[in-house]
Amino acid sequence: MFARVLASRGGLLLVLAAGLAMPLAFAPFGWGWIAPLALAVAFAQVAASPRRRALLGAYLFGLGYAGFGVYWIFISVSRYGGGDVAAAVVTPLFIALFALYPLVALALGRRVGAGRPLLTTIVALPAAWLVVEWVRSWLFTGATWLSVGYTQIDLPPGALAPLLGLYGVGLVVCALAGSLASLAIRPGAGAAAAVVVTGLLYAGSGTLAALDWTAPVGEPLDVAMIQGNVPQDQKWLADQRVETLRHYAQASRQHYGTPLIVWPEAAVPAFYHRVEDNFLAPLAEEAAEQGSTIVTGVPVVDPVEDAPFNAVAVLGDSPAFYYKRHLVPFGEYVPFRDWFGAALDFVGAPMGDFEAGAKPRPLQADGVTVGASICYEVTFGPLIADALPEAEVLLNVSNDAWFGDSLAPYQHLEMARMRARETGRPLLRATNTGITAAMDARGEVLAQAPMFQRTALATTVQPREGTTPYVRWRDWPVVALVMIVLAGAWFAARRRGRDIFH
């Protein structure tokens, strides 16, 4: 009965609704249980429908998923890029392109399953979804935004993060979705057994939360993170620079004596060498006399490489720098500038093209080894893991003012929480407008500042040492598993017969 509904034109509306529901599984809503249900609808519709309707349904699912999940692209471009007209062009194009990923995943799973309902829903579609999620994490510079594993950060499968990472968590979600889809379109003992097994796996994975993969080291670290709340459209104005620097200095003085004081990404709205002698060096000396070290985001022109970098700097007599390694297209550089010149700057022109750093460069701050990252970098698990096992604390400085009061800052924080859980390290997140927060090694938020306020978040984290299995092996065990499963499903399906829905 349900299979006939899904295979009908009405099934297209149902799968579009499922796509629109998917972002509700992510922050700030946090209804993670929606993810396997919504994916189950998509899997079932693709497996039960004739080929063309299945592909249309897959794309509609992706349009709903991306349309609600990343609508904030419009805010970024309209307010801080080329205006409303540019945003009206870029946003639908971006959503239409993003929707291709679910389409490719679902089409691949259907093709691999060759019309065998149980094989397609239980095996091929879950494996194909995870393969495509992994591919999009590096293809065209990569993006892990809206990967299904993030939806489980507070649910039982989240405990798999230090063992198998984001995609291991996502695999459990997809497996449950596949078994539910199989039961919906072809009820029977096999499908029911699959639901029981994957349901137990989903619920039982939470028992791993009792394991401690890392251990405390040293004394707890007191931290103050300054949230400047500088409007993005004023941030780089020359006549606002003195006021911005004055605010950060005054806010920091109120927390002198705190070992670590952190400013957000590009809190210093000028290249480091231009304000080093008359502002940063004297302030660092003053803070050191009071027992504090200041760490800030600041653009830097490297004297050796003679190139600009988006950086994190530990201020002091011998300043140390981390250079951002994964840059944001159109935010920090314009792709194909040699071909198009400034023609693409309307999307969101940067202050100038930055270069990408080459090394993780863990930093020393108040005797603690810090694994630094900048903004979007925190969405990439392997990149954050590069700083381990040396790093005892993770630090992410960010500026989410680009997103306004949308879903994006909450989604960004959720991804940072996953990195803390994968690595077994506390994570400090200092932002310009929010969400400034501190997380423990299990990804639990210890303290959080209100958004869009000038404030300082004072908190304490416990440095940790040790290596989680994820840090050691990264994504490769899960990627290898789903590749093998996908290949096995392909050969199994072709031994059994042709596509019965062709």
User: Which one of the listed residues 375, 377, 414, 422 is annotated catalytic?
Assistant: 375
Say whether 324 is catalytic. yes
CA nearest to 251, candidates 212, 198, 287, 202: 287
**344 secondary structure, DSSP code:** T
Burial class (CB in 10 A: 0-12, 13-18, 19+), 502: exposed
The DSSP result for 405-429, as a single string, is SSSHHHHHHHHHHHHHHHHT--EEE
E strand or H helix at 242: helix 241-253
Say whether 375 is catalytic. yes
Question: What's the rounded Cα separation, in Å, for the pair 286 and 392?
Answer: 26
User: Which one of the listed residues 235, 276, 324, 377 is annotated catalytic?
Assistant: 324
User: Which one of the listed residues 265, 332, 355, 414 is annotated catalytic?
Assistant: 265
At 130, list the tokens.
């995870």
Which of left, alpha, beta for 435 (phi over 0: left; psi -120 to 50: alpha)?
A: beta
Question: What's the rounded Cα separation, in Å, for the pair 243 and 222?
Answer: 27
Helices (DSSP H) in 22-99: which residue ranges?
A: 34-48, 51-69, 73-80, 84-98
At 415, list the tokens.
């991804």
At 256, list the tokens.
């002198």
* Angle of helix 100-113 versus helix 125-136 axis, rounded to 10: 140
The amino acid at residue 148 is V
Q: Are 457 and 253 in contact (CB under 8 A)?
A: no
What are the b/e assignments for 382-393, b being 16+ CB within 10 Å?
bbbbbbbbebbb
**169 secondary structure, DSSP code:** H
Residue appearing with tokens 């604390």: 393
Q: Are 206 and 156 in contact (CB under 8 A)?
A: yes
The amino acid at residue 328 is V
Question: What's the rounded Cα separation, in Å, for the pair 64 and 92?
Answer: 12
Total count of residues recorded for the chain: 502
Q: Are 117 and 123 in contact (CB under 8 A)?
A: no
Say whether 174 is catalytic. no
What are the b/e assignments for 448-473, b being 16+ CB within 10 Å?
bbebeeebbbbbebbbbbbebbbbee
Question: What's the rounded Cα separation, in Å, for the pair 216 and 210?
Answer: 16
Residues catalogued as catalytic: 265, 324, 375
